[in-house]
Structure 1
Amino acid sequence: MKICPFVDGSKIGTHTAASREGLAQRLKDIQEQQNQSPFRDVFEKTFIYFTALQRQGCASPPHEPTIYIGDEAAARENRNAHQVREQRGHSGKETCNGRLLFRYTASGRAFIQCEHYNRNLNIDHFIDFRPGNGLLNSTYLEALFLGDKNLIEEFEEDAAIIHGVGPRVQCSSIANYSTIKVNCSFEHRSASGILENPEMVICPCPVKFRIYEPLPDYREECPWVLVVCPGEHSHPIPIPSKTPPSIRAEIFQLLDSLESDLSDLTPRRFLRHPSVKIFLKKRLPRLLNPMLLDLHPSLGNRDHLRGYIKLVQDKKFPAGTGWEGIINLKKQQDETIPQDERYIRYIAEIPALGQLASTDDPTDDVEDSPTPFRIIICMSKNNSIRLSKAHYVQSDIGFKRIAGYQEFELGGLDPTTRISNISTYCRIYLNRQTAEAHRLIFHKIDEIVEIDTGHRLKWRHIHSKGPTSAEAVGIYHIAVDQHGGQAKGFGLYLKDIAASVPRMAELHEPQRLLQDLDEYEHLRRILRLCRVHFLRNIQQCGVSNDVRQKMRSLLCMEHPNWDTTIREIEGEGGKAAKDWVADKVRSKFAFSGICWAKSFIPREIWQIGDETSNIIESLHSDVNREGLSCTLLGGIIKGQHFDTLKEKTLENLISTGVRPSYHRGHISESVTRSLKRKSEATHKILEKQDQDIVHQNKKIKRALEGVTATHEELERFVQGSSNHLVINRAEKKREKAMASYKKAVEMSTEKIGTGSGKVGLLLPPLPDRPHSGNSTM
């Protein structure tokens, strides 16, 4: 074993037999030797704070030079050499080597600062006011920083003799020989008075193990091994920190079996993983709630488990779980999997894509980042075929699943059945949301569809022979949220597609050529804004309910007074309403995405098309259950598992008729559920409003009773000819009660028109208050 040089050799325990009970007793004895007291805790807290500062120093990047000479330079060199040995070959971060100084503010508050700190020039250097908050022994701390040997000795001798704590007490640090720890965990005061963190030394043990194994020819008759260990061990019972090889092999086998969960595995996730629980139930059937540490105590160390997990991860993913890992996974896929079964279809890193983005368009989400644009497109052949047959599509982008990347999805109802089985057509991971990024996305999806089906995607207003819904082909309608970069990128893609077909008259404006349409005019013929996103945006706008109602009225088939309503919103809603209208106008596609009359989408297609993006939102929510904040590799593997499950579930439905749930999947069920949810939501809101009315009625009653009581009190004092001081006090009391009453009336007035109508609203019959059907008093 290894021991600290400051350990009292005469107090090192010995043993002739090892047992769990003996080890527990040894640890208990060490704990009992430490006399717990408030003084001990404060002293230890102060000393540890000082040693941590000496070890850490100022963490600011090095800039100003610091000169050390003589003994100070030698001491610093020794400390640096000691830290290098502690790092065991790992290079540390280069930081400021300025001295840490103990100072006082003008008001007498103690603090620590780097000598290079200047609140006007160098505020990034170390400064800490913790010593002045009274939670540390500032006198002892100041002595340590100033090197006051006499005061330090006085404090540390008292602490060692009376309380058994401090750098002058004998150490009890003993560690297993196999530990990677080089130095003792505690600072000790040497004979020369210097604080040092000594290296652990090997404690020799004369005892030897002799192992007797039967020869191979006799192992069937004698399948045992004899271990003989004579003599007394010159050290305490070791801590069982090393996992036996047989158990370690089981852990590695268990980790290998986790597959899609391995890339994002942490010790905590491993401990609660269902596969681990099942394994432990089988392995330790007599325990009620078996844990890994029941298999062996060493597995209770999370860092120990983390080391095993990393070994398996490095073996499975030699290039890591980030960008390089995905490149390696794509390479392995292309080398081992047939073309028809590949999932990762395109991966690229494009340094110059950001330069192509339009920086003069406020709807474009342009990011000034040195990181190159990265994109990964995942799409199976079957989903590619489904997309080529789809007529109604939804798109959305998520941010939660993969750290540092957005997840763009195209999805919709299954085009072959048009029932409540939804599909993710493709899943794209990217680190930009610019228009050029989305333009590239749609072009690459188009190319993949052509590889899988032999033809490119068709779009109604480009490839149809006529403007009516009966003549429509391809994708009729796409529902999106109001993201400017996404919409513009899609419009630019459609503009490119229109430029690639023969010149022809535009379907809805025959006097114009299809090729003359700009990106937003293309959107006017196919794109629709999600109703939920639009209404949510209105609810968050800081305007009155009347103005909100006028905003909501714009979401329609045809509006009788569109321009007048827009003017009324801007005039009555103030700056918030003007900004809201300006945002919709600036987007160049919002109004045509909420009102059919403003678009060129055929009426029947608008009526049957998706008015919300709930389908794609539910797909995002569903895949998020596979895990959040994943690594790039882990997120893609989990996404593939999810998409494969969805795909096979749909194929099973088509080939066998077995549905994923007991619901029939008919549109009547979804309509019924929608009406039920809306009714329940309405009742919940009205019930809450009724409760608010009841609560407000109680408040206005109390306020009225207060006015009445103070008025009667004032009348009694006046009639009783009380002195002026008493009358003045009663008048102020009545004025205060009247102010409370008026405030209660104002709050009740705000609730006019709310509630279910079953609960009356108490209000006084004021002549300037509008009449309300649910007000009484």
Structure 2
Amino acid sequence: HSVFRAIQKRFAVNNGCSFPQPGCRPIFGRFRPDIAGVCHPFITCANRLLADNKTLHFFLNLSSSSVSYDVPLLQSLFESESPILDNELCGVIEQKTSRRPTCVSFRVLIPLDLDECPYAIFLSTGTHSHPPPPPTKPPQIILDEILDLMKRMRNPDLTLSTFLRSPQLKEFCQRYDGKELSQIHYSFVNQDKLSALTTKIRALLFPQGRDFNGVVFERQRNVKYQTYVRRIFAENDCIMIICGFDQQIQFLASLSSFEVDMSYKRVKGAFNEVIFATFLPDHNKVFTLLRVFINQETAESYRLLFQQVFSLISEVCGRPVEFHYLHNSGIKAVVVDMDAKQMSGLGHYLQSLDPLCRPWTWQLKNVIIFCHVHFKRTITRLLGSDMDLGSEEPYHSPWFRMKSLLSCESEDDYYHLIALLQDNESSEIVQWAEHKKHPVIAAGLNKSCSLMNPTFFESTRNITNAVEQSHYKSYWMGVYDSLLGATLGSFTIDQRDIDQYNARVAFGVYHNSRDNSLETRYYNHLGNESTQPVS
């Protein structure tokens, strides 16, 4: 039927002969008897028999082909001029993928009218001469469970590696008495299928991608995400995404000081993360206050950042943010490292709040404190050693002389020490001292050079360890993540911070079991002393 149908179709669309002519139609015929007396069958065009150029007309020799034809059936079909069947209902399944001709072939004969003859004939001929093929496809039920597992993870940065290392997958394998997917089904030895599934899941769950557009889309459809991603700001190619819960923002507004620092390893691409954080002595815990993902690092972008952050704080708290040196209440100090762009941005923002519009450097001298750890690191990078960790003669080293800028008792002593360093030390130290000579740098390092109330300066932590610890907590969720993945991971981390804080306030439960009391520290110190080697 298949051969008859195919030839009839060719002639029906005038594609049977090279140059179709009136009267072209397929007919069944036989050659004259050969020496053995056999008349071999063929199918040809009716016009070919009388044509001068016979190659222009259709011809098929049924006996020379390697295919076995049902010649009597074809003869009856062509001679009776049966109509073309609308549907091919006779299904023939033949095994053609075996590499050996002696392999088994299968045929299934299904009747046209299953109501009249509700049976099918299955024919198997030959002998299997090779082992069965290895399994190439896992059971569908396992695939469905793996897809469901990936969907429930909702990880925009899901890759084959992260999936194989996930605790969810280990739990799934244990249900099937295995440790790895390859122990559940041999087809999972080839991991390309799993890699394709992770790509598929990312595209289905996050159709707008994992960068800025993905964040905007997730914020539109996810109500909980909206309570965390508070503001998306864009101006002059500067884009920032401000993240924080109400409780974090309200807590930030109640503080007299906080720390600010930027991380360069959190997000892959153009965006970096700026964190506002503080240390809670009563809780012995670092608390993240706010996160800003920003795609620029200029003085103007920092000015916009502080403007948007304090505007959001005012919006959430219902009152404007105040600074003590301007309003006699509110924020007393901001602890940062010595980044020039960050300083300039904060100073120009504070200048916009000042009714007298005094210089931005004056604003900073009233509010800024620089991290002493970063200050000491600049000395260590310059000299190549950290004398603060121990030295035979620390008081007679350049390291100690440079560090003494922090302990000068007056502004005159500070600048006099700068002059001595520039007159007597190496050229590298001279350049270093020139930088520390800047009025804003001096004010942030030494209380005698600052316009801040000395009591405020002394009571404020002069390190940014809290914000650096917040960076490390974020790295626990991953480094160089996508922008969407970083914000979703921060959502989880900051919610945990709030839960730990509330549990401590409401029930007195610490976030860890370590006893940090004075008595415990005293006995720990005695124990450490007893283990020191005797010189």
Whole-Å separation in 2 of the counterparts to 1:229 and 1:269: 49
**Is the 8 Å Cα contact of residues 280 and 292 (structure 1) preserved in structure 2?**
yes
Find the counterpart in structure 1 of residue 339 from structure 2: 483
Uncovered stretches (5+) of structure 1, i.e. residues with no partner = 1-201, 211-227, 353-371, 465-472, 504-514, 688-755, 759-777
Whole-Å separation in 1 of the counterparts to 2:202 and 2:146: 13
Find the counterpart in structure 2 of residue 293 from structure 1: 182
Whole-Å separation in 2 of the counterparts to 1:397 and 1:389: 22
The 3-state SS of whatever aligns with 1:425 is: strand
Q: 1:489 to 1:208 in 2, by over 3 A?
A: farther
Whole-Å separation in 1 of the counterparts to 2:347 and 2:219: 30
Whole-Å separation in 2 of the counterparts to 1:476 and 1:393: 9
For residue 649 of structure 1, the aligned residue among 496, 500, 505 is: 500
For residue 446 of structure 1, the aligned residue among 310, 320, 336 is: 310
The 3-state SS of whatever aligns with 1:320 is: coil
**Is the 8 Å Cα contact of residues 383 and 399 (structure 2) preserved in structure 1?**
no
**Is the 8 Å Cα contact of residues 421 and 665 (structure 1) preserved in structure 2?**
no
Whole-Å separation in 1 of the counterparts to 2:447 and 2:472: 29
Find the counterpart in structure 1 of residue 42 from structure 2: none
Find the counterpart in structure 1 of residue 161 from structure 2: 268
- Aligned-pair CA distance for 1:671: 8.5
**Is the 8 Å Cα contact of residues 206 and 233 (structure 1) preserved in structure 2?**
no
**Residues 652-691 of structure 1: pairs in structure 2 closer than 5 A:** 652-663=503-514
Find the counterpart in structure 2 of residue 330 from structure 1: 219
Whole-Å separation in 1 of the counterparts to 2:363 and 2:128: 85
For 2:373, the aligned partner's letter is V
- Aligned-pair CA distance for 1:547: 2.6
- Aligned-pair CA distance for 1:543: 8.9
Find the counterpart in structure 2 of residue 316 from structure 1: 205
**Is the 8 Å Cα contact of residues 370 and 462 (structure 2) preserved in structure 1?**
yes
Residues 711-735 of structure 1, C-alpha deviations (whole Å, 9 max, x = no match) = xxxxxxxxxxxxxxxxxxxxxxxxx
Find the counterpart in structure 1 of residue 143 from structure 2: 248
Whole-Å separation in 1 of the counterparts to 2:299 and 2:441: 16
Whole-Å separation in 2 of the counterparts to 1:401 and 1:617: 12
Q: 1:418 to 1:454 in 2, by over 3 A?
A: farther
Uncovered stretches (5+) of structure 2, i.e. residues with no partner = 1-95, 99-103, 110-121, 386-395
Residues 408-450 of structure 1, C-alpha deviations (whole Å, 9 max, x = no match) = 0001134xx7542321111111121111111111111112112
- Aligned-pair CA distance for 1:235: 7.6
For residue 611 of structure 1, the aligned residue among 462, 465, 485 is: 462
Determine if the alignment matches structure 1 residue 409 to structure 2 residue 275: yes
Residues 265-303 of structure 1, C-alpha deviations (whole Å, 9 max, x = no match) = 21122112111111211221xx5xx20111122222232
Residues 222-243 of structure 1, C-alpha deviations (whole Å, 9 max, x = no match) = xxxxxx9955569864342323
**Is the 8 Å Cα contact of residues 401 and 629 (structure 1) preserved in structure 2?**
yes
- Aligned-pair CA distance for 1:530: 0.5
**Is the 8 Å Cα contact of residues 243 and 296 (structure 1) preserved in structure 2?**
yes
Find the counterpart in structure 2 of residue 582 from structure 1: 434
TM-score by length of 2: 0.70
**Is the 8 Å Cα contact of residues 408 and 414 (structure 2) preserved in structure 1?**
no
For 2:431, the aligned partner's letter is D
Determine if the alignment matches structure 1 residue 207 to structure 2 residue 71: no
**Is the 8 Å Cα contact of residues 418 and 437 (structure 2) preserved in structure 1?**
no
**Residues 252-401 of structure 1: pairs in structure 2 closer than 5 A:** 252-259=147-154, 262-284=155-177, 287=178, 290-333=179-222, 336-337=223-224, 342-350=227-235, 352=236, 372-401=237-266
**Is the 8 Å Cα contact of residues 211 and 484 (structure 2) preserved in structure 1?**
yes
- Aligned-pair CA distance for 1:337: 4.7
For 1:312, the aligned partner's letter is I
**Is the 8 Å Cα contact of residues 556 and 594 (structure 1) preserved in structure 2?**
no
- Aligned-pair CA distance for 1:203: 3.1
For 1:495, the aligned partner's letter is Q
Whole-Å separation in 1 of the counterparts to 2:176 and 2:344: 58
**Is the 8 Å Cα contact of residues 298 and 304 (structure 1) preserved in structure 2?**
no
Determine if the alignment matches structure 1 residue 531 to structure 2 residue 352: no
For 1:380, the aligned partner's letter is F
**Is the 8 Å Cα contact of residues 397 and 406 (structure 1) preserved in structure 2?**
yes
**Residues 150-229 of structure 1: pairs in structure 2 closer than 5 A:** 203=97, 206-207=105-106
**Residues 121-132 of structure 1: pairs in structure 2 closer than 5 A:** none
- Aligned-pair CA distance for 1:481: 0.6
Whole-Å separation in 2 of the counterparts to 1:206 and 1:542: 82
- Aligned-pair CA distance for 1:342: 0.7
- Aligned-pair CA distance for 1:669: 8.4
For 2:171, the aligned partner's letter is I
TM-score by length of 1: 0.49
For 1:207, the aligned partner's letter is F
Whole-Å separation in 2 of the counterparts to 1:526 and 1:671: 34
Whole-Å separation in 2 of the counterparts to 1:435 and 1:324: 26
The 3-state SS of whatever aligns with 2:480 is: coil
Q: Which has the higher contact order (CA 8 A, sep 6+)?
A: 2
- Aligned-pair CA distance for 1:373: 2.5
**Is the 8 Å Cα contact of residues 206 and 234 (structure 1) preserved in structure 2?**
no
For 1:295, the aligned partner's letter is I
**Is the 8 Å Cα contact of residues 321 and 633 (structure 1) preserved in structure 2?**
yes
Whole-Å separation in 1 of the counterparts to 2:318 and 2:234: 27
Determine if the alignment matches structure 1 residue 621 to structure 2 residue 472: yes
The 3-state SS of whatever aligns with 1:554 is: helix
For residue 415 of structure 2, the aligned residue among 548, 563, 567 is: 563
**Is the 8 Å Cα contact of residues 372 and 445 (structure 2) preserved in structure 1?**
yes
Residues 287-329 of structure 1, C-alpha deviations (whole Å, 9 max, x = no match) = 5xx2011112222223211111111111110111112111111
Determine if the alignment matches structure 1 residue 455 to structure 2 residue 319: yes
Whole-Å separation in 1 of the counterparts to 2:424 and 2:279: 41
**Is the 8 Å Cα contact of residues 372 and 462 (structure 2) preserved in structure 1?**
yes
Residues 475-502 of structure 1, C-alpha deviations (whole Å, 9 max, x = no match) = 111111111111111111111122xxxx
Q: 1:602 to 1:669 in 2, by over 3 A?
A: farther
Whole-Å separation in 1 of the counterparts to 2:254 and 2:499: 18
Whole-Å separation in 1 of the counterparts to 2:493 and 2:289: 12
**Is the 8 Å Cα contact of residues 351 and 358 (structure 2) preserved in structure 1?**
yes
For 1:648, the aligned partner's letter is D
- Aligned-pair CA distance for 1:516: 3.8
Q: 1:299 to 1:438 in 2, by over 3 A?
A: same
For 2:148, the aligned partner's letter is Q
The percent of aligned pairs where both chains have the same amino acid is: 23
**Is the 8 Å Cα contact of residues 342 and 380 (structure 1) preserved in structure 2?**
yes
For 1:250, the aligned partner's letter is E
Residues 16-61 of structure 1, C-alpha deviations (whole Å, 9 max, x = no match) = xxxxxxxxxxxxxxxxxxxxxxxxxxxxxxxxxxxxxxxxxxxxxx
Residues 617-641 of structure 1, C-alpha deviations (whole Å, 9 max, x = no match) = 1111112111111111111111111
**Residues 673-752 of structure 1: pairs in structure 2 closer than 5 A:** none
The alignment yields a C-alpha RMSD, in angstroms, of 3.1
What is the aligned residue count? 409
For 2:480, the aligned partner's letter is S
The 3-state SS of whatever aligns with 1:548 is: helix
**Is the 8 Å Cα contact of residues 538 and 551 (structure 1) preserved in structure 2?**
yes
Whole-Å separation in 2 of the counterparts to 1:380 and 1:557: 42
**Is the 8 Å Cα contact of residues 419 and 665 (structure 1) preserved in structure 2?**
no
Whole-Å separation in 2 of the counterparts to 1:647 and 1:610: 22
Q: 1:229 to 1:435 in 2, by over 3 A?
A: farther
Whole-Å separation in 1 of the counterparts to 2:123 and 2:203: 39
For 1:411, the aligned partner's letter is A
Q: 1:658 to 1:209 in 2, by over 3 A?
A: farther
Q: 1:672 to 1:592 in 2, by over 3 A?
A: farther
Find the counterpart in structure 1 of residue 397 from structure 2: 546
Q: 1:647 to 1:593 in 2, by over 3 A?
A: same
- Aligned-pair CA distance for 1:646: 0.6
Q: 1:643 to 1:537 in 2, by over 3 A?
A: same
